[in-house]
Structure 1
Amino acid sequence: VAPDAVAEIAIPRVKRSAIVEAFAQRRGLMLVSLSEMDLHAAGDRCLTQSARSVGALGVPSVAEAAALAAAGEGARLIRPRIKTAAVTCALARRVQP
């Protein structure tokens, strides 16, 4: 995925921080903060499962659920979660009307 194809960073509301806000602003990306209810609504569309995510927020993958919830109903993952020492992320594509 080309960097300019990414429009938003989606995170659980409880993970919002000045560091994430600064990163989004520096990259010119909209920051979407999601409620636990938003994450749970997208949880059944996650492709991977993390015991840590289940324990923390009750969804199989926080990154995947956030990406899917922000992209909306009918969105699909184009990159399941990938984890580094510092960050976990996933990419979802919005369905065009």
Structure 2
Amino acid sequence: MSLTQPDEDLREREVVELDRGWSTVVWNDPVNLMSYVTHVFRSYFGYSKPEAERLMLQVHREGRATVASGPREEMERHTEAMHEFGLWATVEKQ
């Protein structure tokens, strides 16, 4: 075991922790029905009906909702999936 190993492990953990600070945000739009947005949140993310409805209402009332948080690549995949469902979504650094 070398004396540099702990520093390397620490740096690797810091990089992983830095990568977790991303979110997928869904934005309100004039096109999609609230029931459809709820359906997308339930079918794609696996949210319960109450949680999907809570997030949908947040989108509707506040104009946006954070629907997922985690590593950047994962949030980019979620954002792309929301686009495929016809929803407006972006990736944001937390």
The structure with the largest strand share of the pair is 1
Q: Fold match, TM over 0.5?
A: no
Q: Which has the higher helix share?
A: 2
Q: Which one scores higher on RCO, CA 8 angstroms, separation ≥ 6?
A: 2
Larger radius of gyration: 2
**TM-score when normalising by structure 2:** 0.29
